[in-house]
Structure 1
Amino acid sequence: MKTLLSISFSLLLATQALASEQAALELQQHLSQLQGFQAQFEQTVIDADGVEIHQAEGKLSLARPAKLNWQQVAPEQDMIVSDGSTIWYYSPFVEQVTIMDASEAINQSPFILLADNRSESWQNYQVEKREQGYLVSSKLDPMQAAFWVKLNSDNSIARFDIIESTGQRSEFKLEGFKANPQFEPRLFHFEIPANTMIDDQR
């Protein structure tokens, strides 16, 4: 009986691993048609009890590999910029910029995988088809935020959510989606303003 249960459990794990691998391949194939995109976003943060606690809006640009320009315009004017190797998080309200290694940011949240097709960036994540979208979560850290993305029929991105281990959820609805635009290279590099406090965490 124990041998039979062991075999059944092993088959279940193998089936789940295969489904995850197929879902990951399918998602990456969809995203491979996007070398980059621009869109406006509306963010809604909902706590674990289902209560809306925050709203924000802004615009974002992503380009492969792992390049990002994220500008929140309301209620604060925060900015996140990545050139693929370095990430700058700038808060003009407190006049501070935090500098991080881009690979570490991927390890903290799989959101940046939308603009990263490198196998080494995906290897620590599992993918599951869920709720007409794809749920991406860490294989190594159950406390790390998961990421859910919904695609339209033309492979444009309709919405994505960042789901914290606490149950809090940030929903991002995209409007004005533009696939594969021509980007100015300077869009993905941040020039630190004068008199800004620097927190370099690299």
Structure 2
Amino acid sequence: MMKRLFCVLLLLLPLPSLAGVAGERLQAFFNDVTSVRADFTQQVLDSQNKALQQTSGIMLLSRPGRFRWDYQKPYQQLIVANGEKVWLYDVDLEQVTVRKMDAALDNTPALLLSSKTKIEDNFSIRELGMEHELAWVELTPKNKETGFEKLVLGFDEHNLKRMELQDSFGQLTRISFTNIERNPELNPAQFDFVPPQGVDVIGE
């Protein structure tokens, strides 16, 4: 679950120049956007295309390295990062896991959050053209030990609307974004987390 969620952090990174409609939309979005607020729906499908899980909530992103995923239905879970630490709060388990950014994101596409890492160093990038009024780009990890086969991003004229993550077990995670706000003013306090009193805290 954690590795799937960290893939969305690719939103925080600039990308190399690409030709075509998909590349132009991709480049324009990453160049122009410094923060995002959006509703999301996430669905996990098995290798037979059978739905295993569906969740929804609200996400916030702020460059560089800050994000907040607030899962609200059907259960509550919160993932928050301030650029140095990542907190995973499972409300039902009354448990908080804390990790340093580098350790939490090891061997995941979220390693690209490092300012010294270029996306083209870790991913092969291929434009897939237009489908369902979205321009699609495929990112394939060069490191086969990441556990991910590929990550596909779908853009409309202005925003990232869809993400599809194929893992090495044949499972597909689809994330759809709605009610997207580009460059909203976000309170920095939303990217810090203080564990509620009485919960178990594991990690840093």
TM-score after normalising by structure 2: 0.77
In the alignment, what sits opposite 1:15?
none
SS in 1 for 2:190: helix
Count matched residues: 178
Mapping 1:18-97, distance limit 5 Å: 22-23=17-18, 26=23, 27=26, 30-97=29-96
Tell me the CA shift for residue 112 of structure 1. 8.0
Tell me the CA shift for residue 162 of structure 1. 2.1
Identity of aligned residues (%): 22
Following superposition, which runs of at least 4 residues in structure 1 exceed 6 angstroms of deviation? none
Mapping 1:26-175, distance limit 5 Å: 26=23, 27=26, 30-110=29-109, 116=113, 118-120=115-117, 122=119, 123-130=121-128, 132-145=135-148, 146-154=150-158, 156-175=159-178
Indicate conservation of the 8 Å contact 1:111/1:162, yes or no. no
Structural RMSD (CA)? 2.5
**Unaligned segments of structure 1, at least 5 residues:** 1-19
SS in 2 for 1:103: helix
* Distance (whole Å) between structure 1 residues aligned to residue 106 and residue 140 of structure 2: 11
**Unaligned segments of structure 2, at least 5 residues:** 1-14, 130-134
* Distance (whole Å) between structure 1 residues aligned to residue 77 and residue 174 of structure 2: 18
Q: Which of 167, 180, 184 lines up with 1:181 in the alignment?
A: 184
Q: Tell me which structure has the larger Cα radius of gyration.
A: 1
Tell me the CA shift for residue 141 of structure 1. 2.5
SS in 2 for 1:32: helix
Indicate conservation of the 8 Å contact 1:40/1:58, yes or no. yes
Letter in structure 2 aligned against 1:172: I
Tell me: CA distance 1:22–1:183, structure 2 relative to 1, closer, same or farther (3 Å): closer
* Distance (whole Å) between structure 2 residues aligned to residue 179 and residue 117 of structure 1: 23
Tell me the CA shift for residue 138 of structure 1. 2.1
Tell me: CA distance 1:140–1:45, structure 2 relative to 1, closer, same or farther (3 Å): same
